[in-house]
Amino acid sequence: MSCAGLVFDAATVETAISRLVHTREEYAGATEALRSALIPVLDQQQQLKRWPALIALWDNTPERAAACIRHERRRELAMRLREAVEQIDAAKALILDHKVDVLGERIRYWWNMLRPGEPVYFSRFDRPGGGINYLDMIAEIAGASKAVERDAVGLFSDSELNCLGLSVFAAQAQSEGVPIIVFDDPIQSLDADHAAYFTREMLKALVGQDRQVIVLTHSRPLWQEMQEELAALKPWVGSLQAPGGCATQVLEGGCGVLETVGLAERRLQDDSVEARREACYLGRSALEFLLKSILVDKRRKAGENAALGDYSGTTVKDLVPRMDEGGFWDSRGHRDNATASARHLNPGNHDAEVPGRGHIKTALGDIKGLYRDYKPVT
């Protein structure tokens, strides 16, 4: 073989080619390890670390297209989900507004029943920030040229807050159609006027809605007033007592004269000032109830339509003259006993010195005597 003046034999050429191929393969093998080590470092320095993955993705067009489709579907679904949540929240807000509007009207109804004509009154609910998780109760101050609104909880007195709580309680029961309502010491901080509205107005209205109403109270004046005001409804009346240190018992019966006098006599077993003061209070309550019962009994026997509620809020000082006007005393001695009993028992209800046990026992005995002589039926 000759080429440009050079002469090679075939064996020499073949050997040279074989060496070249072998050398190239050795070079490629030696450089591959170096290339594998250098490329990640160079890519990282030049911020090309993910390029091989991108190139591989580009080379796989069907997979890339499917991934893009899935991503678009997820994006569209997320957008539709957000829109649905917004629509649901808007609907919930509308429902809540309707419910609180209805509830607010009912609260105002009960509030006006408990505190009619008040210059500060419950006005409405408010959703702070347009949210649906919290509600503010708004009070309004009347008489200003422009409505003045404040947070009810911060503005109302204890008595007003108690009335607001009763109003909310009754409104919720009304909204939910609750058949039985239980009040536990409902007038803890109410003054006498608003306690009377609770008995005369609220309880009668609730019973008028065909609901069973149960009232638990430690207040003997409220206990007695409810019996007087609601006598026409013939309520069941009872008390929890522990006679003679025995276990507590449920005793049926209201604050009848003999029952109340009996409680007073048991309190006199203790000669402390507080025990005697309570005995005076019980005795005076018994005397007032007895005189009211006599007045009602005498008027009914005369053909009048009379009820204990006619004398709600009156005291012995008011009742004795009414007995005089009606000519209802059977004897002068009965009148004298009634006024004497009141005179003995009255200091125990005030800041004056509490009478001794002797005077109190005498007054209680006179009350029992009056009851035995008249035996009023109410």
69-93: pLDDT as tens digits: 899 999 999 999 999 999 998 898 8
Contact 284/346 with Cβ under 8 angstroms?
A: yes
Q: What is the pLDDT of residues 1-46, one digit of tens each?
A: 545 555 557 777 788 888 888 888 887 777 777 777 766 766 666 5
If you search the block for the tokens 């509007």, which residue do you land on? 101
Cα separation, 373 vs 358, in Å, equals 23
Q: What is the pLDDT of residues 238-273, one digit of tens each?
A: 777 655 555 666 656 655 788 888 888 988 998 888
Q: Check residues 292 and 308 and name the one with the higher pLDDT.
A: 292
Sequence ranges of the domains in the chain? 94-175, 256-378
Closest CA to 316 of 375, 368, 377, 367: 367
- Percentage, residues of the chain above pLDDT 70: 84
Cα separation, 169 vs 174, in Å, equals 9
What topology is assigned to 256-378 in CATH?
Four Helix Bundle (Hemerythrin (Met), subunit A) (1.20.120)
Beta bridge partners of 182: 214
Closest CA to 102 of 166, 213, 183, 176: 176
Q: How many angstroms from the chain centroid is the CA of residue 182? A: 13
Q: How many CB atoms lie within 10 A of CB 239?
A: 15
